[in-house]
Structure 1
């Protein structure tokens, strides 16, 4: 049986919101309540377990209780009620510079911080070079940490925290201050630790990192655990909630709670007010027929996210063959590398719009943006679109993707109050596959049209050059 590393049981954290310093003193110091004191629950009855070797991501809006939960698990904050049990050596990177003495040099802080994490001096000395090399701040290692930038500080803290190979690693969005190269380096390090059995619990607003790295994800909102499940499903629920407000937001919260934190029934539900075409978007009369040879009915994007309309509604998204007249032909969702296609969708405008533009983007299965196209430059936009108009956006592209399954997202925007703003967007509007080829040995996801060959430098050969055209 897999060992439980972290067990959170009915944890609640309550704070009191005092009106004056005197009220705080009387209540906290002497238990005197001159007036009723308003309470705020940062966490409300949160329970879950994390097994050994498991990686769990915490997502949620700002103020949802993510950091508070990590502080309680790391034993730097006491819960108001409930219990937390942690089994194994824990290392936590909770905030910038925590555990460092700003007056100490980087070298001194490595020994100081690692000692607090339970390592002996000889163990730290044996790993010192690895820590400095990973942090990439060798030229400044003997300077006081107070002279470091925020990026340098988090580099050093992450390096120390992970190089000691903890049994449990907790990270609270500290990587956000690092540059992209260092963030990728950190994700690779966490993946390596995970492969060696380290339990990881981390907060991130980066959906790509959560999907790629985590076995599970947990959605917190207003201190409550709403969803605990597969990362891609949790991220979709999180994104839906992120763009909701008012009554829609409250209704969605209640729906998630009613399904006991399982988002799948809600992900499968589509916007049905105007009918559905099976792809989740409203259907209109005269939709083009599918090409039976290159259309798979099972390729339906369960992760589709329809954002709230703000003046326009997108419908009928599809990938089509190009007709002899250059217009969209039959619908397809099984594509061939090297062929040209059209992504088209209709937009119905509910209000007047100015400088209207359209966009499309392609993503991998784990949410990595692969590329896209847009019509948002001044010469490409439509100056004025009256309310009631229907426009079909068309994006012609050459499929340079290799065999696999992918998603396409579509959008429409306009200039409002001097800035370009989205009128409507559908994330993962389309799901499609690229067919495999026996005669092509490309790797990865994108065809770069490599022409691989070799040149003989010395030793002699019958031919000086041999090249294989990969097109």
Structure 2
């Protein structure tokens, strides 16, 4: 059994909400609890273990207790009850600029911050160039930190915490400050650290980041741990919860707490569907024998059990389906087993129950584990409907070329509009459809996406080099 790096047992954190400085003095100075003082439970009886090399995502709405939990694990905050044991050197990126002195320059702050994380001067000097290179701010490294932008400070902080090879790394939403290129760079560094045995606690509101990076996800709400399980399972339940009104959310929350199987089986259902959807109406093996002559078909058993129908705000999406697209652009049969390289359309009807303005439509395709591969939308100016009256229906369609390989996929659809001057969803259905792509026996592509590779080889005479402009390669 792998080593437990973090052990959280029955941790609770309670705050007293003082009504006056006198109450604070009475309580803190004389240890007398004033009568009627209000208590706030930031955390309530949290318990879990994290093992070596495991990455755990912490999710939840703002104010749910995520940061409080991380501060306690990092030993910068004491629990009211319970214990936390951390085995190994810990590095925490909890708050932008924490551990830095704004009067020091970047180079001085590297030594200052890394020394607080347990490195001596020789160890820091050995890693100095790697830290500066990773941060990407070498031109500013000798300037005072107070002249840095928030993104530059975050780059430096992440570079220090990740380049010292910590045994436990805690990251609290800090990566959202960086640009896309640096965020990707950070994700790759986190992946490398995880592969090398670093235990990671990762707070993020990005479903994609959690499902791609984490082995488990923990969902906190109002200081309570509602779920601890596979990332895709927890994210589906959390996203469903996030779009409910307060009354429905309270009932849903209770069902999750009671471990109702209907709400806790989404991830397993997706995994089961992944295997189930490889079966077609004609049979996968039979289809493979047909070679390039395979045709799309419809399997009535291919129904997504992970569907989430979100609350309506003046519109209802009905009849979502995938249709073949003919050469002349007309729609053909409804299908859910597709053929690589052919065109299809994601279609649905939107029935408006209220007047709506500036209406747009969207659809996206996701993998079984929730990674969004791409989508289409009508959001640009001139593509949106200026106004729609209550009672009207609109047929939306998103044509796409199936550049996917043999695998199962999910389709989510949505409709948005302006309400009170802000764009918001009028209706959405997550995992409204699922489909699989038929296999081709002689096609040499692999992975998920068909990039239309032309693979081949050339045998070179001794001493000659390949001329890339004219390879004698065989197309497959």
Same fold (TM > 0.5): yes
State whether residues 172 and 202 of structure 1, in contact with CA within 8 Å, keep that contact through their aligned partners in structure 2: yes
More displaced, 153-162 or 435-444? 435-444
Name the SS for the 2:102 alignment partner: coil
- Aligned counterpart in structure 2 of residue 407 of structure 1, from 402, 405, 410: 410
Decide whether the 8 Å contact of 1:227 with 1:263 is kept in 2.
no
The aligned residue for residue 338 of structure 2 is 335
Contact 1:453 1:468 in 2 (8 A): yes
Deviation at 1:34, TM superposition (A): 5.1
Q: After TM superposition, list the pairs within 5 Å mapping 1:185-224 onto structure 2.
A: 185-224=185-224
Partner of 2:470: 465
Q: Does 1:28 align with 2:7?
A: no
CA distance in 1, matches of 2:475, 2:417: 41
- 1:422 paired with 2:432, answer no
- Residue pair 2:356, 2:388 contacting (<8 A) in 1 also: yes
Give distance in 1, aligned partners of 2:249 and 2:152.
39
- Is 1:238–2:243 an aligned residue pair? no
TM-score (norm 2): 0.85
Deviation per CA, 1:361-417, whole angstroms, max 9, x where unpaired?
A: 222334333332233456444455443344432222222223333221111223333
Against the structure 1 CA distance between its residues 65 and 388, is the aligned structure 2 distance closer, same or farther, given a 3 Å change threshold?
A: same
Measure the CA separation in 2 of the matches of 1:104 and 1:168.
Answer: 27
Partners of 1:461 and 1:144 lie apart in 2 by: 51
Are the counterparts in 1 of residues 454 and 475 from structure 2 also a CA contact under 8 Å?
yes
TM-score, scaled relative to structure 1 = 0.86
What SS does structure 2 have at the residue aligned with 1:132? helix
Query: Which of 368, 372, 389 in structure 2 is aligned with 1:369?
Result: 372
CA distances 1:52-96 after superposition (whole Å, capped 9, x unpaired)? 111100000001000000000111100011111111111111111
- Check whether the contact 1:408–1:430 (CA below 8 A) recurs between aligned residues: yes
Is the contact between residue 42 and residue 222 of structure 1 (CA under 8 Å) also seen in structure 2?
yes
Q: Which residue of 2 aligns with 1:64?
A: 64
Contact kept in structure 2, 1:12 and 1:41, CA below 8 Å: yes
SS of the aligned residue for 2:212 comes to: helix
1:348/1:388 contact within 8 Å kept: yes
Q: What does the per-residue CA deviation read over 1:221-275, in whole Å, with 9 as the maximum and x for residues that have no partner?
A: 0000000000001111111121123111100110001117984247899xxxxxx
Q: Secondary structure at the match of 2:208?
A: helix
Q: SS where residue 430 of structure 1 aligns? A: strand
Indicate conservation of the 8 Å contact 2:295/2:338, yes or no: no
Q: Secondary structure at the match of 2:311?
A: coil
Deviation at residue 20 of structure 1 after TM alignment:
2.4
Residue 18 of structure 2 corresponds to 18
Residue 316 (structure 1) aligned to one of 314, 319, 325:
319
**Partner deviation per Cα, 1:12-49 (whole Å, 9 max, x = no partner):** 10111122233322332233455411111110111111
Whether the 8 Å contact between 1:267 and 1:302 is mirrored in structure 2 is no
Query: 1:392 & 1:121 partners in 2: Cα distance?
Result: 66
Q: Give the Cα–Cα distance (whole angstroms) in 2 for the partners of residues 416 and 117 of structure 1.
A: 49
Q: 1:350 Cα deviation (Å)?
A: 2.0
User: Which consecutive unaligned segments of at least 5 residues does structure 2 have?
Assistant: 270-276, 278-293
Q: Do the aligned partners of 1:267 and 1:304 also contact (CA within 8 Å) in 2? A: no
Pick closer, same or farther for the CA change 1:38–1:163 going to 2, 3 Å. same
Summarize the Cα distance change of 1:416–1:91 in structure 2 as closer, same or farther, 3 Å threshold: closer
Which residue of 2 is the match for residue 150 of structure 1? 150
| 3-state secondary structure, aligned to 1:219 | strand
Matched residue, 2:361: 358
**What does residue 115 of structure 1 align with?**
115
Partners of 1:9 and 1:222 in 2: CA distance = 18
C-alpha RMSD of the superposition: 3.2
- Where in structure 1 are there 5+ consecutive unaligned residues? 270-278, 280-290
Task: Classify 1:267/1:387 alpha carbon distance in 2 versus 1 (closer, same or farther; 3 Å).
Answer: farther
- Partners of 1:190 and 1:461 lie apart in 2 by 37
The CA deviation at 1:327 is 5.1
